[in-house]
């Protein structure tokens, strides 16, 4: 049966019929046609899709081992960029927890953006479970229930707030034995002269996460950017999409693109 959808209905089509039909349109060797269909869905804005070339959502989530039957927790979803992918993908067969920040004026603004986005499209986001990531005060998901916990470019924030180890301890508690922690972060040079703002060294991240009980399983260069020189006036936020220097050297920073990032997968021991 072929239905013609209105623009308003198109977003819902991504998780309904469109995803089911689109899966057959991809080659048999495609690892997850449903995920690709969600990423291509009309519910995502052009601005968000424009960042796919830097954030590589299909490749990143595939590296983490995402399946649509999983229980997944995203730490600090910051406005919902990955929520727009994970929530529809997991809606029918899995579970998605958005562990928002719940503190600070800037973080509260991001939380409101997330809530507004979900309220505008309840057919996609009606099953999202939103809670607050406040270490030691409330669980981000029932203990031992999550198959996968993910975080994107947040470690530097937690380090600055002094809650970095406590956050990963919360992730450890939420995961099942054998569960996976997927991490993406702005990558500092191995031996920087002064740590550039917003960047974290791989060695520091590994030591931190392993101190919470995790074991490093694998690294990926999916989100690497060798053009990133990491020596900007206002740190990583000088680059797109923030352009913290305004129009100053904007073409230069556009040519560099978004930051160089490490992508790593850890496991809670079985």
Instruction: List b or e across 210-226, with b for residues whose CB sees 16 or more CB atoms inside 10 angstroms.
Output: eebebebeeebebbebe
- Residue 30 pLDDT class (50, 70, 90 cuts): low
Which pLDDT value is given to residue 113?
84
Which pLDDT value is given to residue 72?
98
Six-digit token pair at 245? 């220097």
Determine what percent of the chain is predicted with pLDDT higher than 90. 73
Least confident of 15-29, 44-58, 153-167, 191-205: 15-29
Residue 97 phi/psi, 5-degree rounding, is -105, 130
- Residue 26 pLDDT class (50, 70, 90 cuts): very low
pLDDT mean across residues, the chain: 87
Closest residue by Cα to residue 76 from 110, 125, 126:
110
In 73-104, which ranges are continuous DSSP H helix? 83-90
The SS3 assignment for 137 reads: coil
Which pLDDT value is given to residue 74?
98
Question: Is the pLDDT assigned to residue 24 strictly greater than 90?
Answer: no
Please say whether the dihedral angle defined by the alpha carbons of residues 187, 155, 117 and 15, taken in this order, is positive or negative: positive
Provide the CATH number for the domain around residue 102: 3.40.50.150
State how many domains the chain has.
Answer: 1
What is the C-alpha separation between 254 and 89, in angstroms, rounded?
A: 31
Domain containing residue 88: 7-267
What is the C-alpha separation between 141 and 74, in angstroms, rounded?
A: 10
**What is this structure's pTM?**
0.86
70-105 pLDDT tens trace: 999 999 998 899 999 999 999 999 999 999 876 665
| 2 assigned to some structural domain | no
The SS3 assignment for 263 reads: strand
Determine what percent of the chain is predicted with pLDDT higher than 70. 85
- Residue 28 pLDDT class (50, 70, 90 cuts): very low
119-173 pLDDT tens trace: 999 999 999 999 989 888 889 999 999 999 999 999 999 999 999 999 999 999 9
Which pLDDT value is given to residue 106?
63
Please say whether the dihedral angle defined by the alpha carbons of residues 206, 211, 217 and 223, taken in this order, is positive or negative: negative
What is the C-alpha separation between 109 and 115, in angstroms, rounded?
A: 10
| 258 assigned to some structural domain | yes
Six-digit token pair at 210? 């392993």
| 55 assigned to some structural domain | yes
* DSSP-derived pairing of the beta strands 175-186 and 146-152: parallel
What pairs with residue 265 in β-bridges?
Answer: 182, 218
| 221 assigned to some structural domain | yes
What is the distance, to the nearest Å, from the Cα of residue 204 to the centroid of all Cα atoms in its chain? 20
182-219 pLDDT tens trace: 999 999 988 766 667 899 999 999 999 999 999 999 99
| 1 assigned to some structural domain | no
Which pLDDT value is given to residue 104?
62
Length of the chain in residues, anyone? 270
HSE-CB at 58 with a 13 A cutoff on CA atoms is: 15
């Amino acid at each position: 049966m072929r239905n013609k959808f209105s623009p308003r209905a198109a977003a819902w089509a991504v998780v309904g019929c469109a995803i089911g039909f689109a899966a057959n349109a991809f080659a048999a060797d495609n690892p997850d046609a449903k995920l690709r269909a969600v990423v291509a869905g009309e519910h995502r804005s052009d601005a968000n899709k424009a960042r796919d070339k830097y954030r590589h959502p299909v490749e990143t989530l595939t590296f983490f081992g995402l399946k649509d039957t999983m229980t997944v927790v995203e730490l600090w979803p910051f406005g919902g960029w990955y929520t727009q992918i994970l929530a529809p993908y997991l809606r029918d067969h899995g579970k998605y927890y958005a562990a928002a920040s719940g503190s600070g004026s800037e973080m509260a603004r991001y939380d409101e953006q997330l809530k507004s986005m979900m309220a505008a499209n309840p057919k996609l986001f009606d099953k999202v479970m939103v809670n607050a990531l406040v270490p030691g005060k409330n669980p981000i998901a029932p203990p031992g229930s999550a198959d996968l916990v993910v975080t994107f470019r947040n470690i530097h924030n937690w380090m600055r707030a002094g809650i970095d180890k406590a956050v990963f301890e919360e992730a450890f508690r939420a995961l099942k034995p054998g569960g996976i922690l997927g991490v993406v972060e702005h990558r500092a040079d191995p031996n920087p002269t002064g740590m550039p703002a917003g960047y974290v060294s791989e060695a520091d991240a590994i030591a931190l996460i392993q101190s919470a009980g995790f074991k490093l399983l694998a690294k990926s260069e999916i989100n690497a950017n060798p053009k990133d020189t990491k020596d900007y006036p206002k740190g990583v936020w000088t680059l797109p999409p923030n352009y913290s220097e305004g129009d100053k050297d904007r073409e230069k920073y556009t040519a560099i693109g978004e930051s160089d990032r490490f992508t790593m997968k850890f496991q809670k021991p079985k």
